[in-house]
Amino acid sequence: MSTENEGNAVPPAPSVPPVPVASPAASPQGPVPDGAPTAQLPPVPPGAPEQGTAQAAPAHENPADGHQPPAGYPGPAPDGHQPPAGYPGPAPDGTWPPPATPAYGDAGSGGSGTVWGASYQQPAPKPRSGRGGLVAAVLVAALVAGGLGGGLGYTLAKDNDNGSTTVSASDSSASQVKRAPGTIANVAARALPSTVTIEAESTSGEGGTGTGFVFDKQGHIVTNNHVVAEAVDGGKLTATFPNGKKYDAEIVGHAQGYDVAVIKLKNAPSDLNPLTLGDSDRVAVGDETIAIGAPFGLSNTVTTGIISAKNRPVASSDGSSSSKASYMSALQTDASINPGNSGGPLLDASGSVIGINSAIQSTGSGGFGSGQSGSIGLGFAIPINQAKYVAQQLIKNGKPVYAKIGASVSLEESTNGAKITDQGAGGAAAVESGGPADKAGLKPGDVITKLDDNVIDSGPTLIGEIWTHKPGDKVTVTYTRGGQEHTVDLTLGSRAGDS
């Protein structure tokens, strides 16, 4: 299965909470002109105070009695008695309400600016360079407009509230509600302070956003290789905690094949709380999962699901021409994972890390009007047992160490197995002389169909399975030659570095 990495360039998330943007609808005074933004302010009911007005303006006399309309009215109707178009008319006592002030003038509405419901035109966002920036810019613009509309609506409602006993969301007692141990809210509350949003920027200004989590008290953060790839050669890295504290960081080591990287905070705080690491070998299909990340730049997002499958062979790439594929025998989850979730923890129901969110299956049709897709319920995470070993090697040596059998296999998609090629890369021998495969008697043309009890249907599947092991592990290989099935034991060798 070929998938896409999902850590791409996005601008920072807006500070206001996202509020759904209302669909276009006719205002009380007429239809909204074509091209107007969809974020609408609600009509103010008659008698409601104006937003931002300290005192209601005094009532005015009805022009029907011969007096001129108050300042701000467009003038009497042609017969001199009817109320001006667009105004609600006189109150029962014959007085007129003050003229309404348009919301944000007539920006973007195409009208005269004298009616409630005129749309607010969000200034065009400045797209950042790097892959995926346009998608996020469109999304952020919608969220900001929606957030403003929601915020003003709340203010108007609050101003009209007389003697309400409702507790607002900002009340300190409401924000300190305890959640029972074992609930998703409790797990999220304990795990979020140990996650970070990572921003990586290259020397040319290109960059992206992803996620990471605290690995130890020394300030090491584990994430995906493709999250920090832009900053490998002299770029800039920052890590921001949910409390808003931001730290510069440096790359300790990265493994492109495993898609794992370790960065370290500069001037790391002394109160870091590493997340508890679970045992991915003991995960079962159907177990609950909790994913934390920054999808499309929305930091500190929590989603839930289950383990949909184990040992799912995945070859992933970020789609760039210079990127090499990463291989994993992944945990599959239906927890919502999107661009920006990369490198974030996949937790079990107790809050222990069982995987690193790394890739999603793409439908090929983009989301938000572009070529970048979002979650369709097929997310993949690197098992934490493998990631822990890789991270420890990177901290110790700065380079990854890979297990190997010492044979080149075809990377073409197949259902028959992993075929040993006739020739290796760059004209080298397909079977390394004196390597594990050579010692076990494997030859070019042999088709490996099993590694231990795991079925091998292709070369990428074999690589992913081998990399779940450590150098020196003993494995049983089942292969076919000339239509005959054979089984042999071999001890895995090692290779240091990505080259």
One of 316, 342, 373, 408 is an active-site residue; which one? 342
Active site residue 2: no
Among residues 413, 362, 339, the alpha carbon closest in space to that of 139 is found at 339
Residue 364 CB-density burial (10 A; 0-12 exposed, 13-18 middle, 19+ buried): exposed
Site of tokens 């493994």: 255
SS3 216: coil
N residues, the chain: 499
One of 60, 220, 226, 469 is an active-site residue; which one? 226
Instruction: Check if the beta carbon of residue 203 is closer than 8 Å to that of residue 233.
Output: yes
Instruction: Check if the beta carbon of residue 240 is closer than 8 Å to that of residue 211.
Output: no
DSSP symbol at 49: P
List Cβ neighbours of 440 (8 Å cut-off, separation of 6 or more).
Answer: 477, 488, 489, 490
Cα separation, 465 vs 451, whole angstroms: 7
Q: Tell me the backbone φ, ψ of residue 126, rounded to 5 degrees.
A: -90, 110
> Which residues on neighbouring strands pair with residue 431, listed in sequence order?
407
> Which residues on neighbouring strands pair with residue 4, listed in sequence order?
317, 360
How is 67-87 classified by DSSP, letter by letter?
Answer: PPPPTTS----TTSSSPPTTS
Instruction: Check if the beta carbon of residue 410 is closer than 8 Å to that of residue 421.
Output: yes
> Which residues on neighbouring strands pair with residue 315, listed in sequence order?
2, 327
Among residues 57, 44, 60, the alpha carbon closest in space to that of 93 is found at 60
Cα separation, 196 vs 392, whole angstroms: 20
Amino acid at residue number 336: S
Active site residue 254: no
Rg (CA), the chain: 30
Cα separation, 117 vs 129, whole angstroms: 35
Active site residue 279: no
List Cβ neighbours of 242 (8 Å cut-off, separation of 6 or more).
Answer: 192, 193, 195, 299, 300
One of 194, 220, 254, 259 is an active-site residue; which one? 259
Cα separation, 376 vs 362, whole angstroms: 8
Among residues 478, 469, 402, 493, the alpha carbon closest in space to that of 446 is found at 478
Site of tokens 């370790």: 262
- The residues that are catalytic are 226, 259, 342
